[in-house]
Amino acid sequence: MKDETKVSIAAMIGIAFEFYDFLIFGFVSSILASLFFPSTNKIVSLLDTLAVFATGFAGRPLGAIVFGHLGDKIGRKYTLIVTMSLMGLSSLFTGLLPSYAVLGILAPTLLTVLRLLQGFSLGGEFGGGITLSAEFAKPTNRAFYIGIAQMAQGVGPLMATGLIFIFSSIMSPPAFASTGWRILFIIGAFIAVIGVIIRLKISESPVFKNVREMGQISKFPLAEAFRLYWKRILLGLGFIIGGTTLTYATSVFAASYLETVIGVPAKTVSLALTIGYIVEAICILAFSLLADKIGRKPMMITTAVGLLILVYPYFYLISTGQFSLILLAQILYSTIGSFSTAAYAAALTELFPTKVRYTALSFDYHVGVAVFGGTTPFIASYLIYATGYKLAPVYWGIAGMVITLIAYLLYKETKGTIFEGQERVR
């Protein structure tokens, strides 16, 4: 197996874990609401749980700064080993955490702390994984190898929904509410162990090593990134907003919305989402090849326009509660959304020089996800609660995607960019 492939697979596992963990939390949010936030009002309990989900994202920007700094100073490989280890421990302890009935107010407090730790460790994952994948690849096939890593956006949710479908099929609802959800988090810890083992066997980025040998390592990557590349940071942040808003609206929020508000069984929801994620994983890899041929910008703009057209029909279709229409909505979203998944990630790596790449990517991604991803399930639920209009989340999704479309239009094509230090690798 080529080094590029091994590195991309190692990156994929970490990014997949991100989606696995947070989607598991979203899928079992109604169970967590009753166990950790008992109340006579189910909507209030769900909102409390989704608020904890959102606080988990508060640790992401801090993690992005800390691990981005380490990644740009000491290297990508070992920084990613630390982040994966912390993610696994957080998932394990979440699965073992006693409920409110046992610990009282300490239970939701500890749940919040674990979400913050999870978010902190995740702060170094996307930026590090995508950076490492990009720096091992040739400029001519960079999007393809980033696409392998980005398949995590389908693989991670696929693992989550697939396991939920299996567990909800073989376990009674009371058994799943008591034990099943805990096993899912503990499985996450085992995924982390596999990820750590694989990362120990890969090499450090040859591009980073060459930059270090040339004495071009930045003393303060974050400060230098903002001082010299603040316009690119803002542009990159714009790349993240729309996709993040819709990703969490069509996964975490959609799952809790369909189960809690529409009354669709968890097994039915997970099956529809599972099929959608299979489509997404396949499409991401296929479209990544196209991004290396025609460039990043055309694919990014096409996705933004396509999702703006789709967002209202998507929420309308799932609001019917009919399996066939829910499945259609997921397949359409997965196909259109995956068109630029590798393209925008490749473009992000090409916006920044090697000495600040890990930091800048991590900051852009996790600030965007923290502000617009972590709050999306709560805001979407609140909009329905406050207005009584079940399609109210449409407007939140449209607003986010309009910002991203503007960023895509302002972006200048970077296909074929050669990184600093890369000319000495090949």
pLDDT tens track for 47-94: 777 778 777 778 889 999 999 999 999 999 999 999 999 999 999 999
* 3-class state of residue 204 by DSSP: coil
- What's the confidence (pLDDT) of residue 424? 54
**Burial class of residue 59 in the structure, from the number of CB atoms within 10 Å of its CB (0-12 exposed, 13-18 middle, 19+ buried):** buried
- What's the confidence (pLDDT) of residue 386? 81
- What's the confidence (pLDDT) of residue 131? 95
Closest CA to 268 of 345, 326, 183, 184: 326
Structure tokens at 180: 């099943």
- Domain 3-200+221-410 CATH assignment equals 1.20.1250.20: yes
Ramachandran quadrant class, 137 (left: phi over 0; alpha: psi -120 to 50; beta: rest): beta
- What's the confidence (pLDDT) of residue 379? 80
Q: Which long-range contacts (CB under 8 A, 24 or more apart) does 166-172 make?
A: 168/265, 168/266, 168/267, 168/270, 169/267
In this structure, what are the phi and psi dihedrals at residue 389, rounded to the nearest 5 degrees?
-105, 115
Structure tokens at 291: 């991004």
* Separation of alpha carbons 386 and 223, rounded Å: 41
Other beta carbons less than 10 A from residue 386's beta carbon: 9
Closest CA to 251 of 397, 117, 113: 397
Q: Could you state, in order of their start, the residue ranges of all structural domains in the chain?
A: 3-200+221-410
Q: What are the average pLDDT values for consecutive 10-residue runs of the chain, which has 426 residues?
A: 87 88 80 82 75 80 94 93 93 91 89 90 91 94 95 88 84 88 93 91 91 90 94 96 80 73 81 88 94 96 94 88 92 93 95 95 90 75 77 81 96 92 59
List of residues 6+ apart from 24 with CB closer than 8 A: 160, 164, 181, 184, 185, 188
Torsion, Cα of 125, 126, 130, 135 (10° steps): -50
Contact yes or no for 361/348 (Cβ under 8 A): yes
- What's the confidence (pLDDT) of residue 13? 92
